[in-house]
Homo-oligomer: A and B are copies of this chain.
Amino acid sequence: MNVITISREFGSGGRELGKRLAEALGYAYYDREILEKLAEQTELDAGYLERVLEHGVADQTYPIHIGRTFAAIPAFANHSTSLLACQTQIIRQLAQKGNCVIVGRNANVILSEARPLRIFVYGDMKARIARCRSRAPEGEKLTDQQYEKNIRQVDKYRARIHNMLCDYDWGDVRGYDLCVNTTSIAVKDAVAPLAEYAGIWFAGREKKPE
């Protein structure tokens, strides 16, 4: 099974790269699907899960809704560790289905035994702010400082969760097979050579011992 995991700094275009790589290679693409499955299993709202699991927002501070109904958070929801464990199971199940690209959620660590091609996507702060601004919902008016603060906050949380699971720090080259800086290249242009690289990497993996 060929699994590509995309770890990414916020605003670096990692999600776009993952999606385009999946398309180019004919692989399944898992991103929000994971949250949706988790929402199904836990009966919690996907938006709530996203805030807790991906942005590290303290769950107590948010009113949430389950399905279409606003409701108190079940005790279980306070345990983000349980949610992470549940998410881990979902990621393992998805990876067994066939070739795929999985964005985020520490799939690089969780699936290490499957020897995925682990890609880290990153970029300069200035480039990431520009990217966030260009993709902001209509009417969102943030200053560069506000974007930077958001970006740092999300990255800090991603690093924190990653570093609980792994010996290497989040973003340390040692934890990845390829690290791609998107500051000076458009993601759409990077896809073709990276897809080719992936194909060669998977073929080589079979020859090289672990």
Taking Cβ atoms with an 8 Å cutoff, the residues of A that contact B are 115, 120, 122, 124, 171, 173-174, 176-181, 183-186, 189-190, 192-194, 196-197, 200-201, 203-205, 207-208
B183-A180 in contact (CB<8A): no
Shortest distance between the CB of A149 and any CB in chain B (Å): 19
Contact among B183, B189, B203, B204 for A200, CB-based, below 8 A: B189
Q: Complex formed: what's the CA distance from A180 to B194 in Å?
A: 12
> How many copies of this kind of chain does the complex include?
2
List B contacts of A203 (CB < 8 A). 189
Q: Which residues of B contact A205 (CB under 8 A)?
A: 184-185
Whether A173 lies near B184 (C-beta < 8 A) is: no
Residue of B at shortest CB range from A210?
Answer: B184
Chain A to chain B contacts (Cβ below 8 Å), 10 pairs: A122-B173, A122-B174, A124-B174, A173-B181, A177-B181, A177-B184, A179-B179, A183-B208, A184-B205, A189-B203
- Beyond contacts A179-B179, A185-B205: 11 other A-B pairs, Cβ-Cβ < 8 A, are A120-B173, A177-B181, A177-B184, A184-B208, A185-B200, A185-B201, A185-B208, A186-B208, A190-B197, A192-B200, A193-B197
Contact B179 A204 (CB under 8 A): no
**Smallest Cβ distance from A56 to chain B, in angstroms?**
22
The answer to whether A204 and B177 touch (CB under 8 A), given A194-B197, A197-B194, is no
Closest chain B residue to A173, Cβ basis? B179
